[in-house]
Amino acid sequence: MLLEVEDLRKEFPGVLALDGVSLRVQAGTVHAVMGENGAGKSTLMRIIAGVHPPDGGTVKLRGRPVHLGSPREALQHGIAMIHQELNLMPSMTVAENVWIGREPLNRLGFVDHVELRRRTAELFLRLGIETDPSLRVGELSVAERQMIEIAKALSRDADLLIMDEPTSALTDKETRHLFGIIRDLKRQGRGVLYITHRLNEVFEVADEISVLRDGRHIGTRPAPGTTADELIRWMVGRELTQLFPRGDAVAGRVVLAVRGLGLEGRFREVSFDLRAGEILGVAGLIGAGRSNLAETLFGLTPASSGTIAIEGRVVVIAHPSDAVRQGMAFLTEDRKESGCFPPLDVLSNLTLAALNQRFVRAGFVDHAEAARECERVGATLRLRTPGLDEPVMNLSGGNQQKVLIGRWLLTGPRILILDEPTRGIDVGAKAEIHRLIAELAREGAAVLMISSDLPEVLGMSDRVMVMHEGRVTGFLGRDEADQVRIMTLASH
């Protein structure tokens, strides 16, 4: 037995995060930990990784009790963690991020950058990662950063590796790559604690599954023989009858017409129509240009060629404010870096985009009206928060995502651009966001939904647009789209 956690308890101000949680991990196995956002999964992992001290209970490694006072102590005991929220430094190179605190030094005591790059290239070759070690992390996509975070943890040769949502930004191809690495770790006798909200991954990679709900350990069972329906009932305590509530669409007029759109070095000659009441899914592998397309449509990176027409009229979108005036909304793929303002409260985060548009009267903010509208949107989204004055950083990932969606709902958008709308959130919150997206489409909103989760693309989209290396390789209708056809188009 590699790890034994017994009766762990952890309390934060006003919240009992863990209430007597126990689990065990054998060497050479993958133990998945499942549960809704706020169930206590990340708190449990942070205690095991030395980030938080427990308020009660014991942690044993190889049969001996240990007290892990810091992540450094955990690393010294052979425990490494890949956090859900990426912890890389954008201004530093890939190699510097991987080996930070462990850099090779030359005879004068300075960092030996040649040796640093050599070690990184050797590690990447072993892991099958093709990123240039000399690039700055700020130049990489979210998916590429995720692979760097994984490589950084694997470079420590830990006996126990904790993976918190490691595939949340990865496409199907990169996920398969990661699963190959995990199988190698198992063969080497290492243990893996694996958190994910993607049910299909659990049955593919896990040997055992433990479920937490409201800070309590609901149970543990072998992955073989467990069904997805049983797991969902365990996690949410209720039936989820429809994870993808998309019915037959009644598409209306063309709201957004894009012709020959291009951004130098990112994508080229992208053309499509998006109709009122339609959900157009966008699929593709890393480097396909999907997120770049979304940012260009919203004016974050103005197009270098092509035209954008809204309601039949060609418009120039050179800045996000232009997009908002045209009735567009954009949910970014990285809620931590470019979405939420974590220290600010829920009210401030919700009203940010619509403040001047809806809540300013004669130069003054109507706080009462803003609070009323935020309460209304919060109820629609089933937002779980102690109050509108709660800092967003205290909310679970799923509720942070709901705050971002609510921010744009307050602007009354005609066109919704959603980039990975359910990334890193639990199955219950995912079902609620899918329900909301379907309702918005039924009410006439035109939705462009980018997702690396193929079941989500297939379950929610009326049509699928597939991209590969910056160009559109095909469109698939709802009836003809399947994973094989999408992956074939995404690879050519």
**pLDDT digit string (tens) for 104-133?**
888 888 989 899 999 999 999 888 888 899
Residue 448 CB coordination number (10 Å):
25
Question: 171 with 284: CB under 8 angstroms?
Answer: yes
Question: 334 with 142: CB under 8 angstroms?
Answer: yes
Q: Which residue has the higher pLDDT, 396 or 111?
A: 111
Amino acid 271: pLDDT: 96
Q: Which residue has the higher pLDDT, 170 or 114?
A: 114
Does 288 score more than 80 pLDDT? yes
Does 248 score more than 90 pLDDT? no
Q: State the average pLDDT for the chain.
A: 86
pLDDT class for 309, splitting at 50, 70, 90?
Answer: very high
User: Reduced to 3 states, what is the DSSP secondary structure of residue 277?
Assistant: coil
Amino acid 453: pLDDT: 80
Q: Which residue has the higher pLDDT, 88 or 427?
A: 88
Amino acid 247: pLDDT: 66
Characterise 439 by phi-psi region: left (phi > 0), alpha (psi -120 to 50), beta (else): alpha
Nearest to 446 by CA among 420, 422, 416: 416
Amino acid 336: pLDDT: 67
Amino acid 9: pLDDT: 93
Does 240 score more than 60 pLDDT? no
> How many helices and strands in the chain, by DSSP H and E?
17, 22
Q: Which of 6-10, 153-157, 203-207 has the lowest mean pLDDT?
A: 153-157
Does 257 score more than 90 pLDDT? yes
Question: 9 with 57: CB under 8 angstroms?
Answer: yes
Cα(163)–Cα(356) distance, integer angstroms: 42
Average the pLDDT over 283-309 and give the result.
90
Does 378 score more than 70 pLDDT? yes
Does 355 score more than 80 pLDDT? no
pLDDT class for 237, splitting at 50, 70, 90?
Answer: low
Does 243 score more than 80 pLDDT? no
Amino acid 242: pLDDT: 60
Does 145 score more than 60 pLDDT? yes
Amino acid 209: pLDDT: 94
Q: Which residue has the higher pLDDT, 295 or 427?
A: 295
* For helices 367-381 and 397-409, angle between their N-to-C axes, nearest 10 degrees: 120
Amino acid 89: pLDDT: 87
Does 246 score more than 90 pLDDT? no
Amino acid 94: pLDDT: 92
% residues pLDDT > 70 (the chain):
95
Nearest to 58 by CA among 2, 3, 6, 21: 6
Which domains are assigned to the chain? 3-236 (3.40.50.300), 254-490 (3.40.50.300)
Cα(291)–Cα(477) distance, integer angstroms: 22
Amino acid 85: pLDDT: 67
Nearest to 179 by CA among 214, 149, 148, 206: 206
Does 306 score more than 80 pLDDT? yes
Nearest to 235 by CA among 204, 206, 205, 202: 202
Amino acid 210: pLDDT: 94
Does 368 score more than 60 pLDDT? yes
Cα(337)–Cα(333) distance, integer angstroms: 9
% residues pLDDT > 90 (the chain):
38
Amino acid 234: pLDDT: 81
Does 239 score more than 60 pLDDT? no
pLDDT class for 14, splitting at 50, 70, 90?
Answer: low
Average the pLDDT over 373-402 and give the result.
83
69 φ/ψ angles, rounded to the nearest 5 degrees: -85, -10
Amino acid 206: pLDDT: 94
Does 405 score more than 80 pLDDT? yes
Question: 383 with 399: CB under 8 angstroms?
Answer: yes
Q: Which residue has the higher pLDDT, 425 or 57?
A: 57
pLDDT in tens, 73-100: 998 999 998 876 677 888 999 999 999 8
